[in-house]
Chains A and B, each alone.
Chain A
């Protein structure tokens, strides 16, 4: 039986505020009746409302009563949308109790009604000026609770004066300090620094420890932003701390808490000191070291009381001292003592202490001096992972294992985390999966171990393995040829299991599609067996996985000509060719066609092995950072970077990656995973296969951006993607663009998808080239589309483009249709830019500079100096230049930090040679981009386009 207190105010006893309401307390021992409460409360609200609106003016006492009732109703979770005015009236009452409840209501329930704020501010101003410490306290409390910008504007100048005035009472000083702190937090720009700052620092010497505590809080926050201004606080804080720590527990009587002298103030002072490096003055430094040693020594003394409060207070100070020691990271002796102390706590019977010890050790693990000392506790931490009853503590243990991991203990830690994963709480599984994946990658010496680990990860916690994790394993396998055979063999074996996770099917499908040939010699894993194994999982998988498997099949056609007929049969079956899912159907049709028309050479080119991926920050790490907040992970990574050698085998040659510029989001498409394949080495087939090639190559999901038609931003994303594709979304309509450029001819495949369930009628796309553009570009739509687009359907259209001469504007695609009786008109700038007609030219250093000099006419050169909009990453920049269409010339510029490119723009009338040079300046975060071409307008346009990319 649940018993609840149904509390509603009914009676009014008349005398004494504490007995103001005799609440009707109905102890309902039946099930709690929510409706009854709501009914009762609505009745009460109606009553209060009528009292407030009534003709009879309410006296202060009644107002106080009703305002208090409203507060209670608010506490129970009901909206209060009136009563603010009455509360404001109470503020100006001269009775303390009325004023008090008025302020309370405002503090708890204020809304941003500007009219009211003005009235409230007025009342506060009067109370602050009243010199009555009680009223001043109430007013300061209210400011600190609301802390709005309007209040900061009104009082940020006034409060510092109250704080440092000689005649202000201690209690008011305390409130003023915290009030100022609140205002500084919300509107730092409105709190002027000035003379008062030095006087605030001297409050650290104040007689009243309450004032010192409040002042320390204030100074800590101010010092974080203005360290210079508050530097003098360090020596004062050290001497104050020293006086507290060395005092006998009887000295600071009132502030001694269970035999610990002023624990809160000690904690605050130690926090303040963490804003600064170790003191330079040897005397101050010596005194501080002495304090810290005393605190550490006291931890070893027998407790003065058995009460938990005693040990809590003592250890609060101790943990803060340890934090300061870790922050200073300069006294190896203290660091080791701190580590030993935490080691003791790891096995303490108090769960709280074990939790905090694990947490502090995490930061300790990143210090050079103590990393080894932390590692000695590995067994204890692993044990904690296995035996702790509390998930919070286990989570800290996982964090610490992650932090203490290095090459020497990685296999053990990863193994322990994996085995913990089998029983781990659901809430932290995903995080553990990410951590295991990162550690396995980072400390892999033997990549077969890495592959095993990740496959285990998928086996144990497949549902928690995010896309990033399995993308990453594929990237690594592709980049390291020493592990490819092993990976193929292992996934093949793993796939034998009767029930395997879909993520395993994805990894398996991808890896076998790339490297199945490496194990095909073994009769137990012959091509046909591989295919049958994969295909046996096909029907159990979701659409994206099936799509991936179809791509594997077409890769098999290339790898193993002997299974081609089997695969063609599968592709030809109705369940594929007529699949209800458009993507699957399209793949089946296209792959079947490709396997039939294309010659072996073309197949081999199209379906060639994936090129290595460009090295960049692990997307898993990015995900973990996102999950845990940047601070925790970054710090760890930065400090550890020095210790860890690059395990990815040094920088890989960056391939002509088109999507490296769009941060790591490998699309699920097999052929476009992460990086789109390079432009084919030889000239692409001139006819027939061309259209098909586009579909095979384009990574159709790499750019998905909500687009306001013609949005410049979105437009810019296409500039450095030579043969990519993308989706443009409108509210109702989805447009997918795939395009292919070859010399002066371009072809663009546009897919219109109707995402609604209603028909589009009179659907007419038109290509519009403005008058200016008209002579320079020829674009035509090959075939009109059917004017009716059914709900959910997709139609395709091909646009051919020919570049006659250089151009700046982009053609516009205008789409008109009727949707649900209204006429819709949408215009989109097609991402067709001049650089699409680039042909890269390789040349040696000598040639480059010779041509560079030839183009020295001032009209031919355009230069732009601009600030970097994106992180200045060399590999990304290279990829962008290649994606832009020009060749990237290595070892041409004498300064290796610079980038140099060359190419020819093909137009029908002329060919324009273009040279470019990009000089990054990392300090200033600036670039200088210089373009020299034989035509001024071209230099201009290319410079504009490329500048926008960095």
Chain B
């Protein structure tokens, strides 16, 4: 099971935080900070797995991460997940973001925080992999966009003047 999905930038500013196991809010913040410090001190091009920090449960959990330009994508998982599988899942998530935002960058995550969450929800649900087929994920997101557009149009039409 995936315990948490954390995305933060090179300075440790959280950009997407999703916990699938309940932690009190201040602990959530501490976990983000702890994880950032664990990941930050690692060179690029070394292994993508490391043991979880003490707050998230220590060596029973693994942090699986990828570093893209200014952002770290970290999945914290228990022993029931395949490390390489999760690594690929991060890739799928990022590629999907890239398709939806066209050359995704850190600012997209800030401006469209809600949308990023919706995309994530198509990939992971309640800590389990929901869908891995990128075409299917993108199709779902496009359907959402269409729904949204139709609603906006309706609102505009109803507005006086």
B148, A23: Cβ atoms closer than 8 Å: no
Interface residues in A, total, Cβ within 8 A: 76
- Residues in A with CB closer than 8 Å to B42 are 390
Selected contact of B113 from candidates A61, A68, A264, A354, CB within 8 Å:
A68
Give the residue of B18, B88, B127, B151 whose beta carbon is less than 8 angstroms from that of A313: B88
Q: Which 5 A-B pairs give the minimum distances between C-beta atoms?
A: A144-B126, A316-B84, A182-B126, A390-B46, A351-B47
Q: When chains A and B are docked, how far (Å) is the Cα of A15 from the Cα of B113?
A: 17
The answer to whether A389 and B43 have CB atoms under 8 Å apart is yes
**Would you call B99 an interface residue if the criterion is a C-beta within 8 Å of the partner chain's C-beta atoms?**
no
- B104 interface residue per 8 A CB criterion: no
Contacts of A143 in B (CB 8 A): 126
Convert A172-196 into 0s and 1s, putting 1 for each residue whose CB lies closer than 8 angstroms to a CB of B.
Answer: 0011001101100100000000000
Which of A7, A71, A134, A220 is close to B110, meaning CB atoms less than 8 Å apart?
A7
0/1 string, B27-69, CB within 8 A of A gives 1: 0010010000000001101111111000000111000000000
Find out whether the CB atom of B128 lies under 8 angstroms from the CB atom of A97.
no
The answer to the question of A694 belonging to the interface, with a C-beta cut-off of 8 Å to chain B, is no
Contacting A at CB under 8 A, from B80-113, are: 80, 82-85, 87-89, 91-92, 106-107, 110-113
Other-chain contact of B51, A76, A254, A263, A392 (Cβ < 8 Å): A392
Residue of B nearest to A21 (CB): B111
Q: For chain B, give the interface size range.
A: 35 or more
User: Nearest Cβ distance between residue B143 and chain A, in whole angstroms?
Assistant: 8
How far apart are the CA atoms of A447 and B103 in the complex, in Å? 65
Chain B interface: which of A209-217, A697-705, A929-937?
A209-217
Residue of A nearest to B60 (CB): A629
By a CB distance below 8 angstroms, the chain A residues around B131 are: 174, 210, 213
Tell me, rounded to whole Å, the shortest Cβ–Cβ distance linking A9 to chain B: 10
Whose C-beta in chain B lies nearest to the C-beta of A254? B133
A141:B47 contact, CB within 8 angstroms = no
Enumerate chain B residues within 8 angstroms of A319, measured Cβ to Cβ: 82-84
Q: Which B residues fall within an 8 A CB radius of A?
A: 1, 11, 13-18, 20, 25, 29, 32, 42-43, 45-51, 58-60, 80, 82-85, 87-89, 91-92, 106-107, 110-115, 117-118, 121, 125-133, 135-136, 140, 143-144, 147-148, 151-152, 155-156
Which residue in chain A gives the minimum CB-CB distance to B10?
A2
Kindly list chain B residues whose C-beta atoms are within 8 Å of the C-beta of A263. Answer: 85, 88
Instruction: Report the nearest A residue to B15, measured CB to CB.
Output: A75
Instruction: List residues of chain B with CB within 8 A of the CB of A15.
Output: 152, 156
A-B contact pairs, 22 of them (CB 8 A): A4-B11, A4-B13, A5-B110, A23-B111, A72-B113, A75-B14, A75-B16, A77-B29, A100-B118, A104-B114, A134-B143, A144-B126, A174-B125, A254-B136, A255-B133, A267-B82, A312-B84, A312-B91, A316-B84, A316-B87, A351-B48, A392-B46
CB distance from A370 to the nearest CB of B (A): 21
Residues of A within 8 A of B83 (CB): 316, 319, 352, 356
Residue of B nearest to A218 (CB): B128
Given A5, A75, A264, which contacts B132 in the complex, CB threshold below 8 Å?
A: A264
Taking Cβ atoms with an 8 Å cutoff, the residues of A that contact B are 2, 4-5, 7, 15-18, 21, 23, 25, 32, 61, 68, 71-72, 74-77, 79, 95-97, 100-101, 104, 108, 134, 140-141, 143-145, 147, 171, 174-175, 178-179, 181-182, 185, 209-210, 213-214, 217, 220, 254-255, 257, 263-264, 267, 271, 309, 312-313, 315-316, 319-320, 351-352, 354-356, 389-390, 392-393, 395, 628-629, 632
Cα-based distance from A145 to B126 in the complex (angstroms): 5
With both chains docked as a complex, state the minimum distance between the C-beta of A5 and any C-beta of chain B, in angstroms. Answer: 7
Residues of B within 8 A of A21 (CB): 111
Complex CA gap A315/B84 in Å reads: 7
Which of A267, A313, A351 is close to B46, meaning CB atoms less than 8 Å apart? A351
A97 adjacent to B130 (CB under 8 Å): no
Pick the residue among A17, A68, A144, A313 that contacts B148 (CB under 8 A).
Answer: A17
CB of B54, distance to nearest CB on chain A (Å): 11
Q: Which of B16, B106, B118 has the most CB of A within 10 A?
A: B118
Chain A residues whose CB sits within 8 angstroms of the CB of B47 once the complex forms: 351-352, 354-355, 390, 392-393
Does A209 contact B13, Cβ atoms closer than 8 Å? Answer: no
Contact partners of A74 in chain B: CB under 8 A: 25
- By a CB distance below 8 angstroms, the chain A residues around B106 are 5
In the complex, what distance in Å separates the CA atom of A61 from the CA atom of B47? 46
Contact A75 B126 (CB under 8 A): no
| A68→B128 contact, CB < 8 A | no
Contact A75/B82 with A209-B133, A254-B135, A389-B46 known, Cβ cut-off 8 Å: no
Q: Which residue of B lies closest to A138 (CB)?
A: B121
**Contact: B129 with A68, CB < 8 Å?**
no
**Distance to closest chain B CB from A206 (angstroms):** 14
A481 to B51, CA, bound (A): 43
Contact partners of B46 in chain A: CB under 8 A: 351, 389-390, 392-393
Given contacts A134-B143, A144-B126, A352-B83, 16 further A-B contacts (CB under 8 A): A5-B106, A75-B15, A97-B148, A144-B125, A147-B126, A175-B130, A178-B125, A210-B133, A213-B129, A264-B129, A315-B84, A351-B47, A351-B48, A355-B49, A392-B46, A629-B58
Question: Are B48 and A25 in contact, with the CB atoms below 8 A?
Answer: no
- The complex places the Cα of A356 from the Cα of B131 at a distance, in Å, of 25
A312 adjacent to B87 (CB under 8 Å): yes
CB B37 to nearest CB in A, in angstroms, measures: 12
Query: Are the C-beta atoms of A629 and B59 separated by less than 8 Å?
Result: yes
Which of B1, B20, B113, B156 neighbours the largest number of chain A CB atoms within 10 Å of its CB? B113
Assess whether A181 is in contact with B11, with CB atoms less than 8 Å apart: no
Residues of A within 8 A of B155 (CB): 61
Among residues of A, the one whose C-beta sits closest to the C-beta of B101 is A18
> Chain B residue with minimal CB distance to A76?
B14
Asked whether A320 and B82 contact (CB < 8 A) given A96-B151, A179-B125, A255-B133, the answer is yes
A61 vs B92: C-alpha distance when bound (angstroms)? 32
Given the complex of chains A and B, what is the CA–CA distance between A313 and B156 in angstroms?
47
Q: State the Cβ distance, A713 to closest chain B Cβ, in Å.
A: 30
Complex contact B85–A316 (CB within 8 A):
yes
Q: Which of B17, B25, B89, B92 gathers most chain A CB within 10 Å?
A: B25
> How far is the CB of A676 from the nearest CB of chain B, in Å?
36
| In-complex Cβ contact of A352 among B14, B25, B49, B51 (8 A) | B49
Contact yes or no, A271 B80, CB < 8 A: yes
Q: Which of B88, B112, B130 contacts A312 (CB 8 A)?
A: B88
Residues of A within 8 A of B156 (CB): 15
Closest to A175 in B: B125
Return chain A residues, CB-CB under 8 Å to B87. 312, 316, 352
For the complex formed, measure the closest distance between the CB of A67 and the CB atoms of chain B, giving whole angstroms. 9
Residue of A nearest to B20 (CB): A145
Give the complex CA separation of A143 and B127 in angstroms.
Answer: 12
A141 touches B49 (CB 8 A): no
Chain B residues, CB < 8 A from A77: 14, 29, 32
For B125, give the chain A residue with the smallest CB separation.
A178
Please, which residues of chain B bring their CB within 8 A of the CB of A79? 25
Task: For residue A303, give the distance in angstroms from its CB to the closest CB of chain B.
Answer: 14
Residues in B neighbouring A5, C-beta threshold 8 A: 13, 106-107, 110
Contact B133 A316 (CB under 8 A): no
A217 lies within 8 A of B147 (CB)? no
Among B1, B131, B147: residue with most chain A CB under 10 A: B131
Residues of B close to A185: CB separation below 8 A: 1
Interface centre among A77, A220, A257, A393 (most CB of B within 10 A): A77
**Nearest neighbor of B24 in chain A, beta-carbon distance:** A111
The chain A residue with its CB closest to the CB of B149 is A16
Q: Which residue of A lies closest to B140 (CB)?
A: A171
Report the Cα distance A16→B114, complex, angstroms: 13
Given the known interface contacts A178-B130, A263-B88, the answer about A18 and B48 at a Cβ–Cβ threshold of 8 Å is: no
Q: In the complex, which of the residues A25, A96, A354 contacts B147, with contact meaning CB atoms closer than 8 Å?
A: A96
